[in-house]
Amino acid sequence: MKHVLWLVLKRALASVVTILVISLIIFIGVELLPGDVAETVLGQSATPETVKAFRKELKLDLPPHVRYFTWLKDFVQGDFGNSLANGRPVFGLITWRFANTLFLAATAAAIAVPLAVILGILAALYRNSLFDNAISTTTLSFISFPEFFIAYILIGVFSVQFNVFPSLAAISPRMNFGEKLYTILLPALTLTAIVTAHMMRQTRAAIINVLASAYIEMAELKGIRRLRIIVQHAFPNALSPVINVIAVNLAYLVVGVVIVEVVFVYPGLGQLLVDSVSKRDIPVVQASGLIFAATYVTLNLLADILSMLSNPRLRKTH
């Protein structure tokens, strides 16, 4: 047990270091943006005195390393500053948006994970059959197209041609749960089409690898049905790589929704990040970018931990 805790601690420390490095990259990237933030926000009509006062208010007159550590300390304490666009606290702007992003990602995951696992099991059951080839070809085709292409295809078919679902996923707090699900179904299906292929193929490969084991051959010799062998014997022993790829794809669902949110004008954190970049709203850009990075690193850490816990052999080799 101590060995497992030590492995988890090492992974957690590595994740913290990764987040710190990413925060530095975000800060440097914002610093390297062309133009002066104060002049961009105030406009060309602002006087030099106003620009100077505004730069002092934003602490732009301080050295970069001082501003970085101040920003990082405030972020850890939950103080994200105020938006330059509307003066509202960034924390309040991000909270509702990030909750919407998590809702969209959770909806897509609720569709994609069971679908990928079932398709993976069936593909392994009918290995090298027409069904297996058709599923593999279809799912690989989806991940070969960019997100916006799949999104526009779904909009063209289900919104324009058949007028079944709305083309804009403009949810609001006044909507009930059912109305929200109906409104975000197209962006959720877009994300599902992208991540299902990775999870399905990993599930198929992991099960096929276990099927080569001696105990599986013994079960086949006993006359046990192949579906039962796969579901009760092969799949439980293939959980480690399956859990890992599912967790990694869940991380993508959270941080990879930016393009999908922009296409469907979904009020999530990705849409807020894009709008803030265009407005040079630096506090919102920095906070949104670091939240995305921390979420992705945390979910990858969770994937490593679950992979170790579900595979005793993996724990022994570390």
Query: Is 135:119 a contact under the CB 8 Å cutoff?
Result: yes
The model's pLDDT over 199-227, given as tens digits with 9 standing for 90+, comes to 888 888 888 888 878 888 888 778 888 88
The pLDDT, as a whole number, for residue 300 is 85
End-to-end CA distance of the chain: 13
The pLDDT, as a whole number, for residue 234 is 81
Neighbouring C-beta atoms of residue 31, cutoff 10 Å: 13
The pLDDT, as a whole number, for residue 318 is 46
The pLDDT, as a whole number, for residue 1 is 60
The pLDDT, as a whole number, for residue 44 is 66
> Which range has the worst mean pLDDT, 47-56, 80-89, 167-176, 227-236?
47-56
Percent with pLDDT over 70 in the chain: 92
Mind listing the domains of the chain with CATH numbers? 2-76 (no CATH), 95-316 (1.10.3720.10)
The model's pLDDT over 68-106, given as tens digits with 9 standing for 90+, comes to 998 899 898 888 888 887 888 899 889 999 999 999 999
The pLDDT, as a whole number, for residue 9 is 87
Q: What is the pTM of this model?
A: 0.84
Sign of CA pseudo-dihedral 103, 170, 285, 246: positive
* Cα 268-168-272 angle, rounded to 5 deg: 25
Q: How confident is the model at residue 36 (pLDDT cuts 50, 70, 90)?
A: low
Q: Is 233 exposed, middle or buried (0-12, 13-18, 19+ CB in 10 A)?
A: middle
Give the orientation angle of helix 239-255 with respect to helix 90-125, to 10 degrees.
140
> Which range has the worst mean pLDDT, 149-158, 179-188, 306-315?
306-315
Strand partners, 89: 82
- CA dist 284 and 296 (Å) reads 18
Q: Give the pLDDT mean for 184-191.
A: 93
- CA dist 121 and 125 (Å) reads 6
Percent with pLDDT over 90 in the chain: 31
